[in-house]
Structure 1
Amino acid sequence: MQTEPDPKRWFALALLCLAGFMIILDASIVLVAVPSIERELTFSTGGVQWVPSGYALMFGGLLLLGGRIADLLGRRRVFIAGLLLFAASSLLCGFAWTGDALVFARGLQGIAAAVLAPSALSIVMTTFPDGAERNKALGIWGATSGVGGTAGSLIGGPVTDGLGWEWIFFINVPVCLLVAVLAPTLLKDSRGPGRRGFDVTGAVTVTAALIVLVYAVIEAPTSSAGRTTLLALLSATLFALFVLVEQRSSAPLVPLRLFRSRAVVGGNLIGMTWGLAAFGLNFVYTQYAQLALGTSAIRYGLMSSVLAAAAVGGSILGQNLVTRIGPRPVAAAALVVAGIGSTVMSLMTADSGYFETAFWGLTIFGAGLGAGSVAGAIAALSDVAGEDSGVASGLQNATFQIGGAVGIAALSAVAVAHTPGSSPAELVHGYRVAFTACWAFIAVGLLGTALLGKRSADRPQLATEVARHS
């Protein structure tokens, strides 16, 4: 017997999209405020990058565990708990008295986001019946997330310059409370099938491995080779332990059988590349604009918004091309385009005008980012069985966030290692090398496209179906 659709479902979607918008916004808006935060709080050399990276690491590392918790304990209940934790951690961020306190609070925010995001998406899936309505709802959800990423640059500048960097966190509090109050009325509770356990050990080991890896990269320019090697070996050991845990777990975070698929591995390498390059390049560019050139946060936000606009256009073009020729050629071309964009960025000097280099570099990079992200997402999901679609989608989002944290750390370390002094010209020298280093990330993505093989590239019909859900 067919049940009647929930009459409040579109109001529920609006509420869930508001929460999703806030989660994505918080990952991007902080990049605008990083220079202001660094000036007001005390950080070690290169330590300010933990402000964006701490959020991304906890978000990506615990995302799959957050989805499992929501399935077992009730999605609406976990969603509301995540909102309250996000509100509390946002208050703690705004009132942070030292750099260490802010990094700790950002980590709590990332944990809250890792609970919020999968529970919200699961509620969307259970609220709308399979078919045209669900596809429309997922499209609105995806578009809202895209707008959140774009809005970070535009909102962050006026808030940082007008009210202070603390308010990029304080504005989350009324949003969280509003959504939490309305959630019991508009959202239906549900649980996942079966009684699977929590793979807490797997979540802890992989997150610890990532934290040690990022720490090793951050400290590399100022540490001895022996210490860096020791940290790298510790990270590798923790990753190996994670694989062992997943092999023996009755309810693993990531079923290792997924990695037998070249499409899954290749697609996730491509997705990770976009996290590495997009977060890393944005972090370096905000340092270049605000620290080396003295650009205000408002002006920086307007200057960097061209990247987001180009990414939106690129994603539309990319989806159309993928449905015709498959994800592999689109991803490969997009990666090369983004590499060209980063090369243009590397030509900037302390005296460059915005329309001489930055505008063109950001536009070219953004177009590649938009098209390539769509191609990578479709590739990562195109060879996944129905029972694995949820975890495969979570894995794709996790690898992007993790890539972002590592990308910020890596390019910041490169910039620090190649900055001979503190004058604008000397700072710019380090940033130019960092922009060039984006090609190392592009190489990882091109390896991912090679793994896709012809089988993935020649399945445009399946790609069309996956595109509706990505």
Structure 2
Amino acid sequence: MRAWAVLLVLCGAIFLEGIDVAMLNVALPAIRADLGLPTGTLSGVVSAYVLGYGGFLLLGGRAADLLGRRRMFLLWLVVFLAFSGLGGLATEGWMLLAARFATGVAAAFLAPAGLALLTDHFPEGPRRNRALGLYAGTAAGGFSLGLVAGGLLTAIGWRWVFFAPVIVSALLLVAAVPLLRADEPRPRRESFDLAGAATVTAAMLLLVHGVVRLEHGLTGATLAVFAVAVVLLALFVRIERRAARPLVRLAILRSPALVRTNLAALLFLASFAGFQFMMTLYLQELRGWSALQTGLAMLVIGIDTVLAPTLTPWLVNRFGTGRVVFGGVASAAAAYALFLPLAPDRTYTAMLPGLLLLGLAFSLAYGPLTMAATDGVAVPEQGLAGGLLYTSIQFGTALGISGVTALSTAGGMEGIRAGLMLPAVAALVALGVTAGGLRRTPAPRPGDGVPSARPSASR
């Protein structure tokens, strides 16, 4: 009974993460109107979170293993609570950006600690599988409900989008302290690869900043930003080669299947993040829809909450992960193609097929991508493989938002159409990447399962 109570708390934490990001996406136009933020800063409100998340995710997983999972979970839940509240008090764009980045860092430490606690409390077998299914489904439900909750809270005032997670975090904290059992003592402390974490995070920040700067043209300053990012990435590689306990063991990247999976995940999430950002601006700023109407309109994408745990496992067992991922990416490419001729007066009925295809795309692609990312990886490196996948997902999300921002500088309907080109192109490239692995897809194994949740920071 105690284990299931712990699961309830952990599900609450992953639900909080999903609903937090989804609510913010719906509230973006209201935040822009109140604080007078330019489009670049507005996209940065989302990008700052996913960069903090993606940049520190690998370090967060290592911290949970070395410093204690309960300790990390409780500490970073407090940090998440504090900076979410500070975001609600922001009066300037830079304050909001700093708060969101810090909240993303907190999530990067909180999420792997929560997942590790789940496996600690549920031994391997049917009980753990059931617990993981509930955990993943809760993450998916967080996004779907977050769209509607964001619309309701924004109608009261956009600051409640930040204050509501504070209340939920406080309740989870009160429940978690007595429920989570104490960490086992660590025999010795190991060093962190802080230099690796710092260089790769700085490189990611500069790469996205460079993409956003492209809206002003390919200037010397923009080229300099990209050059510094490349230097930092080279430095990161050098640090990892020499580190006694590297953040990323570079030899793992010699696996073509792993690289292909991570690249596909990056492109898949970049396309959706860019699409969602453009559609939020289109529906609210061009069409005059309310935040609640926008949330309800996008809610149909949440069909993956039902399809992912029911249809997808059967398809994976029948056809294998590679073919199912390919079908999901193909559905996404078709959906974005349907939105390319978007007009100011397009009816919701006309948009519905594309939105349904997107829901199908997430149902088919995300869970099998998670499976493919760890398939064939040695047990001691399963965590590293998962960390690489989620880093790719968060980085792809940030790049997608920054990319559409750079393309939509014309504003109005012309800018929206230009921005929507990036999701379509990114999905097509992802389709080519996944097609390259179809011949190498291993035969499905009886009893294989697949995680069902999608990534909350991106959606």
**Aligned residue number for residue 342 of structure 1:** 336
Asked whether 1:236 is paired with 2:221, we answer no
CA contact (8 A) 1:339 1:442 kept: yes
> In percent, how many aligned pairs have the same letter?
35
Deviations 1:87-120 (A, max 9, x none): 1101100000111111110011001111110111
Distance in 2 (alpha carbons) for counterparts of 1:64 and 1:24:
19
311-320 vs 224-233, which moves further: 311-320
Distance in 1 (alpha carbons) for counterparts of 2:109 and 2:247:
14
Distance in 2 (alpha carbons) for counterparts of 1:433 and 1:318:
33
The count of residues paired between Structure 1 and Structure 2 equals 452
Distance in 2 (alpha carbons) for counterparts of 1:277 and 1:315:
23
Distance in 2 (alpha carbons) for counterparts of 1:311 and 1:399:
22
311-320 vs 139-148, which moves further: 311-320
Deviations 1:331-366 (A, max 9, x none): 22221221110111122211111112x222211122
Counterpart among 387, 399, 419 of residue 394 in structure 1: 387
* Matched AA of 2:84: S
**Aligned residue number for residue 157 of structure 1:** 151
Distance in 1 (alpha carbons) for counterparts of 2:190 and 2:318:
40
Asked whether 1:167 is paired with 2:156, we answer no
Query: 1:468, CA displacement in angstroms?
Result: 5.8
TM-score, L = length of structure 2? 0.94
**Structure 2 residue ranges without an equivalent (≥5):** 454-459
Query: 1:447, CA displacement in angstroms?
Result: 4.2
Distance in 1 (alpha carbons) for counterparts of 2:385 and 2:187:
17
Q: CA RMSD in A?
A: 1.9
Map 1:117-132 onto structure 2 (within 5 A): 117-132=111-126
CA contact (8 A) 1:138 1:469 kept: no
**Structure 1 residue ranges without an equivalent (≥5):** 1-6, 422-426
**Aligned residue number for residue 74 of structure 1:** 68
**Aligned residue number for residue 422 of structure 2:** 437
* Matched AA of 2:421: T
Asked whether 1:383 is paired with 2:367, we answer no
Counterpart among 294, 311, 316 of residue 288 in structure 2: 294
Distance in 2 (alpha carbons) for counterparts of 1:34 and 1:468:
30
Residues 443 and 229 from structure 1, CA distance in 2 versus in 1: closer, same or farther, beyond 3 angstroms?
farther
**Aligned residue number for residue 141 of structure 1:** 135
Map 1:403-414 onto structure 2 (within 5 A): 403-414=396-407
Residues 270 and 320 from structure 1, CA distance in 2 versus in 1: closer, same or farther, beyond 3 angstroms?
farther
* Matched AA of 1:333: G
CA contact (8 A) 2:284 2:290 kept: yes
Counterpart among 348, 360, 363 of residue 353 in structure 2: 360
Map 1:417-428 onto structure 2 (within 5 A): 419=410, 427-428=412-413
293-302 vs 370-379, which moves further: 370-379
Distance in 1 (alpha carbons) for counterparts of 2:379 and 2:303:
34
CA contact (8 A) 2:140 2:305 kept: no
Distance in 1 (alpha carbons) for counterparts of 2:355 and 2:240:
40
373-382 vs 33-42, which moves further: 373-382
Deviations 1:19-52 (A, max 9, x none): 1111122222211000000111132442110111
Query: 1:383, CA displacement in angstroms?
Result: 1.7
CA contact (8 A) 1:90 1:109 kept: yes
Residues 443 and 227 from structure 1, CA distance in 2 versus in 1: closer, same or farther, beyond 3 angstroms?
farther
CA contact (8 A) 1:217 1:413 kept: yes
Asked whether 1:48 is paired with 2:46, we answer no
Map 1:207-226 onto structure 2 (within 5 A): 207-226=201-220
Query: 1:189, CA displacement in angstroms?
Result: 2.9
TM-score, L = length of structure 1? 0.92
